[in-house]
Structure 1
Amino acid sequence: MRLTEVTYDNAQPIDSYGPGFFRVAGQVLHGAVLVTPWDAGPWGGLDDTAGPLALVGRIDVLFVGMGTEIAHVPVAFRSALEAAGIGVEVMNSPAAARTYNVLLSEGRRIAAALLPVS
């Protein structure tokens, strides 16, 4: 089997995560985070649609990591993003981080809004 090293060019991969933190492109961020190919920073959680909505026209899909376990996002959150043309995919945060990295390596127009794992 041939292994190929994944490269992200100048994009921001999610390097790792742990209880209450994410490491994105070498930077440790505590709490909930919003990660895009070009930036990463704090996110206000499921009540905060402003951060994801600021990405309209720059992303097609937002992966929402719900922490350790998968759960439903509030209807108002999903509706606001979908009305603006951003698809919402909900999963637990570890799966969202992995999926984000895979699609990031393919050059897809994605972002991740992640709640920390416990």
Structure 2
Amino acid sequence: MQLNEITFTSATPIDGYGPGFFRVGGQVMEGAILVTEQGAKPWGGLEDAATLLALAGQVDVVFIGTGGEIAPLPAGLRSELEAAGIGAEIMASDAACRTYNVLLSEGRRVAAALLPVGG
């Protein structure tokens, strides 16, 4: 098997995560975050639909990491995102980080909205 190194030249990868924090582009951020190709910023969590809806036209899909376990979205959030032309994929935050990085490295228009994993 041959492994290829991925280099992020202009995009912002998720470097790691731990109990209550994420490391994005070398910077540690605590709590829930939203990560796009341009960078990371705090996110208000699953009740903060406005921040995700603001991504309309910029991303095709947002990976929503619900912490250590998969959890359902609040009623209506998925339909609001779809109405705005944003696909939503729900998964545990660790899987969302990995999936975001892979698709980002392929040049895809993706974002990750992440709730921290517990400790």
Cα distance between partner residues in 2 of 1:99 and 1:56: 20
Query: What percent identity do the matched residue pairs reach?
Result: 66
1:63-85 residue CA offsets vs partner (Å, 9 max, x unmatched): 00000000111122111111100
Alignment gaps of 5+ in structure 1: none
**How big is the alpha-carbon RMSD for the aligned residues of Structure 1 and Structure 2?**
0.7
- The amino acid that maps onto 2:91 is M
Cα distance between partner residues in 2 of 1:3 and 1:39: 27
2:8 alignment partner in structure 1: 8
Range with bigger deviation, 17-26 or 49-58 = 49-58
Cα distance between partner residues in 2 of 1:107 and 1:8: 10
- Pairwise CA distance, 1:49: 0.9
1:19-54 residue CA offsets vs partner (Å, 9 max, x unmatched): 000000001110000000112010000110111111
- The amino acid that maps onto 2:60 is D
1:36 aligns with 2:36: yes
> Equivalences for 1:18-97 in 2 at 5 Å?
18-97=18-97
Runs of 4+ in 1 over 4 A off after TM superposition: none
- Pairwise CA distance, 1:2: 2.1
Cα distance between partner residues in 1 of 2:63 and 2:42: 15
Cα distance between partner residues in 2 of 1:2 and 1:83: 41
1:109 alignment partner in structure 2: 109
Q: Secondary structure, in 3 states, of the residue corresponding to 2:10?
A: coil
Q: What is the aligned length?
A: 118
Alignment gaps of 5+ in structure 2: none
Q: Secondary structure, in 3 states, of the residue corresponding to 1:3?
A: coil
When the two structures are superposed, what TM-score results if normalisation uses the length of structure 1?
A: 0.97
When the two structures are superposed, what TM-score results if normalisation uses the length of structure 2?
A: 0.96
